[in-house]
Amino acid sequence: MRRALFLLLIFLHLHSLQAQTVGDLNKAAKSNASSRPGSSSNSYRGSNDAFAAWMLLRSILWIGQGMGQLGREEIRLARRNKEENHLFCLDIKPQAGYGLTGFVRLQPQLRANLGWFSLDLKQSILQDASDEFKALGFMCWMNIWNKGKFRFRAGAGTLGLNTFGETYFQYALGAEFIPSPKIRFELEAGMSESLQGGGVQPLREIQFRVYHPFWTKGILQSSVFAGAASQQYFESLDFTTLDAGLNFRLSASRFK
């Protein structure tokens, strides 16, 4: 445990050496928004069409695989939810993070778990003495593996930079490990790309959370969690935080 904590502190320190201000982040977002191509050559349109076709094909393959097993999987998971409670539930997460370079990140999140898939809405607000930056992400997750104490999912969605009205495509992977009813580990990693091509990657993110439920009654449960997250904007601006928050869960089944 001590070794893991030591490695985490080194990781946060290295990232803090390169971290920029929120004002720099707003400048980078504005620069990428203003430099987006309008009507251009046929070669650009061809690459853009190929990228869109690839995204569409990948989405169709994901949806097709999910729909093929939807009926049986939903019935199986509904039965399991009476014992595990996290398969059909609504999670509300008020959370915040502190960056070692003097900024804070507020990140309220709402997630609806509906068996084999989940819907996720997350607002991210970065603030320091120089400026404020906002982003709003929506994800649709496919819960690929729901067996035993382990859960694995893949997701796709959109990322909107509220400050400049830009919207990007994002995709991610996530995993959960639940060794006991009193503790849950969660790891997520994702990135985003421009919907119009051009190689713009506004956000790469990885986050780790440890949850501990402290109050349970009927179909309601409250948990406290802590962890760390690293967000890299436009491939050069790093914002790393130590995070903490609450998770309020409303389950379709009564907790034991």
Number of H helices, E strands in the chain: 4, 12
Q: Which domains does the chain have, with CATH numbers?
A: 2-34+83-251 (2.40.128)
Contact in structure between 108 and 115 (CB atoms under 8 Å): no
Residue 65 reports pLDDT greater than 70: no
Q: Residue 116 in contact with residue 147, Cβ under 8 Å?
A: no
Indicate the residue type of 54.
W
Q: What is the pLDDT of residue 141?
A: 94
Identify the band that residue 247 occupies on the pLDDT scale cut at 50, 70 and 90. very high
DSSP string, 94-118: -EEEEETTS-EEE--EEEEEETTEE
Task: Categorize the per-residue pLDDT at 34 as very low, low, confident or very high, splitting at 50, 70 and 90.
Answer: low
Could you read off the pLDDT of 111-124 as tens digits, one per residue?
A: 999 988 899 999 99
Dihedral sign (CA 192, 195, 197, 202): negative
Q: How confident is the model at residue 94, as a pLDDT?
A: 96
More reliable by pLDDT, 216 or 146: 216
Instruction: Answer whether residue 70 shows pLDDT above 50.
Output: yes
The answer to whether residue 211 scores a pLDDT higher than 90 is yes
Question: Per mean pLDDT, which range of 66-70, 90-94, 95-99 is the poorest?
Answer: 66-70
Name the least confident of 51-65, 102-116, 143-157: 51-65
6, pLDDT greater than 60:
no
**Would you state the pLDDT for residue 43?**
44
**pLDDT tens per residue, range 176-210:** 999 998 999 999 999 998 877 667 788 999 999 99
What six digits make up the tokens of 95? 């959370």
Given the structure tokens 């956000």, which residue do they identify? 203
Answering whether pTM is above 0.95, one says no
